Structure 1
Amino acid sequence: MNLIVSYISNFLSRKGSYVFFATIFARIFSFLAAWFALKLIPNKELGVVLFAYNIIVFIIPISGLGLHQSFIRYGALLKTKAEKNSLFLYVFKKGIWVSLLLIACICLISFFIDFQFKNTRTYLIVLSFIIIPSFLLEIIKAQLRLNHENKKFAFTEITQSILLLISVLILSYYFKELGYAVALLITPTLTAVLFIKKIGINFKLKNKLTITDSTFWKYGFFASLSNVVTQLLFVIDILLIGYLLADTEMVTNYRYISLIPFSLLFLPRVFMATDFVTFTEKIYDKAYIKKYIKSYMLLFLLISIVLVVTSYFLGDFILALLDSNFSKYTQTFLILIIGVCGIFIFRGLFGNLLSSIGKAHINYYIASFALLLNIVSNYYLIPKYGIKGAAITSAILMWFTGVVSVIAFKLLYKKVLLKTE
C-alpha cells in the first residue's frame, strides 16, 4: 500500500491531477461540440463532413512522419535546454515540410477516388490542412512535457476544448456544415498560436545534433503507425459485426455497450502522458524503473479488481442507464471490462516502456499481429456468438498484446542495459 501511496503522491507532484481533469474536461467538451453540431446541421450534410474528417483522423498520427513522437522520446534523453531547443527547431522545420507533402498527396489522391457522397472531396481537401496545426500543437505539448510543465500541458487540452466548443457553436450556427469543417480546422491552429510563445523556444538557435539520423526518423514513423493500427483494432470489431451479421442494430448495440469500457482507457493514458518524460529520463536506472513498474501495476491491479467486481454486480444497472434494452448484454459488457484490465495492468505501461527504450517498432509489430488475429478470430466467433464473440476476441487480444509487451520489454531492456554498461 505504501508503494501505491508514494506512486500517487509522485504523480500529483508532477501535476498529474491537472492532466487527469483536463482529459475529462476535454472529453465532455468534445461531446458537447459534437452534440451541438448534430443539432445545428442537417444529418445528411453533417455525415459528409464527418466521413471526410474520420479519414483525416486516421492520418493525423503520421503527420510529420511521426517526428513529434521522436521528439518526446529523444528530447527526454538530452541533458541541456539548448539541445532540446535545437531538437524542437529541427522537428518543427522538417515536420512542417513533411506535413505539407502529406497534404499534397491527400489532395492529389482525392481526385482519383469516386466518392459516394457529394462534396466529400472538397471537405477532405479542406480538412487535410488540419494536419499542420495538429502536428505543431503536438510538438508544443511535447516541449511542455519535456520542460516538466504538465500544468501548462493540461491547459493546452482545456483551451483547445473550449475553442472547439465555441467555434463549432458559432460557425455551425451561421455556416452549417462548412462552418463545422472550418471550426475543426481553426481550433488546433488557434491553440498552437496561443501556446507557442509559452514554450520558451529560441528560434535563432541553430546547434546541430547527432541524434537526428535515420534511427530518429524510423522511431517516430513506427510509433505513429502503431497508433494508427491500435485505432484500427477498436474500429475493426464494428466493421466486422456490420459485415458478418448484416444487422445495423447489432452494430449500434456493440457501439454503446463498448462505450464505457473503451472510454476507461483514458486512465492509463493520463498516467503515461504525465510520467513518460520522467521515466524516459531515468530509463537506464534499473532500480527506479523496477520500482515504477511495481507501483504502477499494483495501482492498476487494484483499480481493475474494483472495476470487475462493480461490473459483475452492477453491470445490468449501468447498461440500463444507457438503454433498458442493453441489460441483456451484461456478459458482453463484463467481458470487455475484463479485457480492458489487460491494458490497464500490462499494455498501457509496457507499450510506453518499449517506446521509452527506443523500440516503438515492436509496438507496431505487436499491434499489427493483433489486428490480423482480430480479423481471423472474429470471422469465427461473431457468426457463432454474435456481439459477445467480438467482445471475447477484443478481451483476449487486449491481454495478449499486454503480455507480449511485457515479454518484449524484459528481453530488450536487458540488451539496452548491457550496451550502456
Structure 2
Amino acid sequence: MKSLSIFVSDFLKNKGHHVFLSLLIAKICGFLGSLFIIRILPESEFGTISIVASIFFIFVSFSGFGSHQSLLRYGSIIQSDSEKKVFANHLLRQGFIHQLIISAVFLLISIFYINRYEDILFIFLLFTVRLIGFYFLNHIQAELRVFGNNRAFAQVNNFVNVFGVILLLLLSYFFGLVGYLFAVAFTPFLSLIWYKKEDFLKVIGGINFTKKEIWSFGLHAAGTALLSDALFSADVLLLSFLMKETAVASYKVGLLIPFNITFLASTFMQSDYTVLAKNSRNKFFLKNYIANYYRLFIPISIVIFVVGFVFKTEVLSFFFSAKYSGSQMIFVIFLATFSFNMLLRNLYGNLLSAVGMMKMNTAVSFLNLILLLMFSFFFVKRFGIEGMAISLCLSMLTGGFLLLFSFYLYWKDLK
C-alpha cells in the first residue's frame, strides 16, 4: 500500500491530475453530447451520423500522419526548450500538408454512401472541416505537454470541450441535425485561441532525430491509432451494410457507456506518458509502475462491472429511452470487455508506445481488425447485433494478451 501511495503522489507531483481531469471532462462532455443527440434526433438520422462518425474516428487517428504522436514521444526526450520548439514547428508545418491529403481522402469516401443515405454528402463535408480542426487541436495539446505545461493543456481541453458541448446543445436544440453538424465542425478550432503566428514560421536550428526515425514512429503511431479506431468503427460499418439503421442505433447505445469507462485507464496512462517515455529503459521503474497500476485498476474494474451488471436495466432506462431496452445483452458483453481492456490493452498498448515499440502496436492492431472480420462473419449471422458484440470482445481480448506478451519480451531484455 505504501508503494501505491508513492505512485499516486508522484502522479500528482507531475501535475498529471491536470491532464487526467481535463481528459475526464472531455469524456463527460462527449458522452453528454452523444446522449443528447440520441434523444433529440430520429433513429434514422442518428444511425446515419454514427456511420459518418465511425469513418471520421478512423481518419482523425491518422491526423497529420502521426505528427503529434512523434512530437509527444521525441519531444519528451529532448532536454532543451529551444530544440523542442524547433522540433514542434517542423512537425506542425509538415503535418499540416499531410493533413490536407487525409482530409481530401475522407471526403471522397462519401461517394460510396451518397445513394444509400439522405444528406450524407453534407454530413461528410462538415466532418471534413472538423477533421482539419482536430489537427490543430492535437498539435497544440501535444506541444503543451512536451513543455511540461499540463495546466495550459487542461485549459485548452476544458475550454474546447465545455464550450463545444454547450454550443452543440444549443444549436442542436434550435436547428436539429444542421445545428449539430455546424457545432461539431466549429468546436476544435476553438483551440486556435492558443495559436501563435510564429508557430508556422521556420525556427533556425537542427533536429536531433532523423526524418526517417520521426516519421516512421509517427506513421506507425498513426497506423496503430487508425487500426485501433477501425476496430471500434468496423463493427458499426459492417452492421450498416448488413442491417438497418435502427439496428446500428441499438448497437451503438449498448456500446456507448462501456466504451467510455476506459477513460479512467486511458487518461491515467496519457497523463503519465511523458514520464514513461523518459524512463523507457528503467527496468525497475516499469515493473513498479505496472504493479501499482494493477493495485489501482483491478478493484476499479471489478466494481464497474458488478455495479453495471446488477443495474443494467436501470442504467439503460435512465440514460436512454425505453425503445433501447433490447440493448441489455450488448451492454453486459461490452461492460466485461472494456473492464478487461483497462487491464490489458490500455496498459500495455500505451507502454509499448512510450518505449518506442510502435511497430508491435501496429501489428497487433492489424491482427485485431482481421480477427474482428473473421469472428463477425461467423457470429453476426447466428446472433445478429449480439454476435457483433461477441466478435469485438474476442478480438480485443486476443489483442490485449498479445500486447502483454510483447511488452514482457521488451522488459525481459532490459538491464
TM-score by length of 2: 0.85
2:252 is aligned, of 251, 255, 262, to 255
Residue aligning to 2:90 = 90
Query: CA–CA distance in 2 between the matches of 1:224 and 1:73?
Result: 13
Q: Report the Cα offset of residue 49 of structure 1.
A: 7.1
Residue aligning to 2:402 = 404
What 5-or-longer segments of structure 2 have no aligned partner?
A: none
Q: Report the Cα offset of residue 85 of structure 1.
A: 1.0
CA displacement 1:195-247 (0-9 Å, x = unmatched): 2359x979563211131421211211121122222222223334445655x46
Q: Report the Cα offset of residue 352 of structure 1.
A: 0.9
Query: CA–CA distance in 1 between the matches of 2:282 and 2:95?
Result: 32
Aligned amino acid, residue 299 of structure 1? L
Aligned pairs for 1:248-287 within 5 A: 250-287=247-284
Aligned amino acid, residue 280 of structure 2? I
Q: Report the Cα offset of residue 248 of structure 1.
A: 5.8
Residue aligning to 1:155 = 155
CA 1:387–1:61 in 2, change beyond 3 Å: closer, same or farther? closer
Residue aligning to 1:357 = 355
Residue aligning to 1:289 = 286
Query: CA–CA distance in 1 between the matches of 2:325 and 2:185?
Result: 39
Residue aligning to 1:345 = 343
CA 1:333–1:28 in 2, change beyond 3 Å: closer, same or farther? closer
Residue aligning to 2:223 = 225
Work out which of the two has the higher radius of gyration on C-alpha atoms and give 1 or 2.
Answer: 1
Query: CA–CA distance in 2 between the matches of 1:15 and 1:98?
Result: 32
CA displacement 1:282-314 (0-9 Å, x = unmatched): 111111111111111221112122223334544
Aligned pairs for 1:5-404 within 5 A: 5-33=5-33, 54-106=54-106, 109=108, 115-116=114-115, 117=117, 120-121=120-121, 123-168=123-168, 180-191=180-191, 193-197=192-196, 205-240=203-238, 246=243, 250-321=247-318, 322=320, 332-404=330-402
Q: Report the Cα offset of residue 19 of structure 1.
A: 3.2
CA 1:32–1:311 in 2, change beyond 3 Å: closer, same or farther? closer
Aligned amino acid, residue 85 of structure 1? K
Aligned amino acid, residue 194 of structure 1? I
Secondary structure of the equivalent of 1:208?
A: coil
CA displacement 1:2-35 (0-9 Å, x = unmatched): 3333222322333343334333433343455557
Aligned amino acid, residue 115 of structure 1? I
Aligned amino acid, residue 195 of structure 1? W
Secondary structure of the equivalent of 2:204?
A: coil
Query: CA–CA distance in 1 between the matches of 2:99 and 2:52?
Result: 18
- Asked if structure 1 preserves the Cα contact closer than 8 Å seen for 2:345 and 2:403, the reply is yes
CA 1:112–1:32 in 2, change beyond 3 Å: closer, same or farther? closer
Identity %: 28
Number of aligned residue pairs: 413
Aligned amino acid, residue 17 of structure 1? H
Secondary structure of the equivalent of 2:356?
A: coil
Q: Report the Cα offset of residue 276 of structure 1.
A: 0.4
Q: Report the Cα offset of residue 354 of structure 1.
A: 1.0
What 5-or-longer segments of structure 1 have no aligned partner?
A: none
- Asked if structure 2 preserves the Cα contact closer than 8 Å seen for 1:48 and 1:119, the reply is no
- Asked if structure 2 preserves the Cα contact closer than 8 Å seen for 1:72 and 1:146, the reply is yes
- Asked if structure 2 preserves the Cα contact closer than 8 Å seen for 1:106 and 1:125, the reply is no
Query: CA–CA distance in 1 between the matches of 2:306 and 2:47?
Result: 39
Query: CA–CA distance in 2 between the matches of 1:126 and 1:387?
Result: 29
